[in-house]
A and B are shown apart, each in its own frame.
Chain A
């Protein structure tokens, strides 16, 4: 009779298809991080700033 382990040892996670946590997926993806690192400041600073400047009314 084979023995069934009561609970899987940590190393067994690699064998089981346990889903990778969202945060780990994010941090393990260097190109996503690169994109966010460029896109976030560009939108929040440059795009928002230009929108504000373009919206300045003309003097009467």
Chain B
């Protein structure tokens, strides 16, 4: 049977299906179904359940909000760049700015407390990769992404940029400190 020649019958649809062709179709279809249902499965069981809460904003407006948080809740600074470490109020809105080539500020969150983490870039695309938890979010300029976050384990985590953003992309990393809640 050749596919180059036109069909022998005018009503070729009614020709009985060749066994090999039928088997091939079944195998290909079953694999398509596997790949299709893997998507909702992994969404649930792989916990790929990223929030879709986002807002359009400008770098100026967003930086103002981040600066207000930094002004109120800075506890110390780190590195030669004097990046402020911020310990925000549990349950509040927390702002993280991604820009060439740093994350600003460094966040210190309390274990077991929930925060609304806002992430935005003031220039172009960056990535937010929380390691070793491996939570990955794309950071877009002009769009403020909001994630409701509850740190469950005390420790020091790394935030790295996993979206190539220029010559110093490899240096774009930060820390996330999770500490025991303050008493009183």
Within 8 A of B (CB), among A10-50: 10, 13-14, 18, 20-21, 23-24
Question: Min CB distance, A39 to chain B, in Å?
Answer: 21
Q: Is B157 an interface residue (CB 8 A)?
A: no
Question: Min CB distance, A24 to chain B, in Å?
Answer: 4
Q: Which interface class (under 10, 10 to 19, 20 to 34, 35 or more) fits A?
A: 10 to 19
**Of B19-27, B35-43, B55-63, B163-171, the one touching chain A:** B55-63
**Separation of A21 and B14 alpha carbons in the complex (Å):** 8
What total of A-B pairs shows CB separation below 8 Å? 32
Residues of chain B within 8 A of A56, CB atoms compared: 54-56, 143
Candidates A24, A58, A59; contact of B62 at CB < 8 Å: A59
Counting chain B CB atoms within 10 Å of each CB, the highest count among A23, A24, A56 belongs to A56
Please state if A59 and B11 are interface contacts (CB–CB under 8 Å). no
How many B residues face the partner with a CB closer than 8 A? 14
Interface string of B43-69 (1 = CB under 8 A from A): 000000000001111000110000000
B interface residues with partner A (beta carbon < 8 Å):
9-14, 54-57, 61-62, 143-144
Q: Can you report 25 residue pairs joining A to B where beta carbons are below 8 Å apart?
A: A10-B9, A13-B9, A13-B10, A14-B10, A18-B11, A20-B10, A20-B11, A20-B13, A21-B11, A21-B13, A21-B14, A23-B13, A24-B11, A24-B12, A24-B13, A56-B55, A56-B143, A57-B55, A57-B56, A58-B56, A58-B57, A59-B55, A59-B56, A59-B61, A59-B144
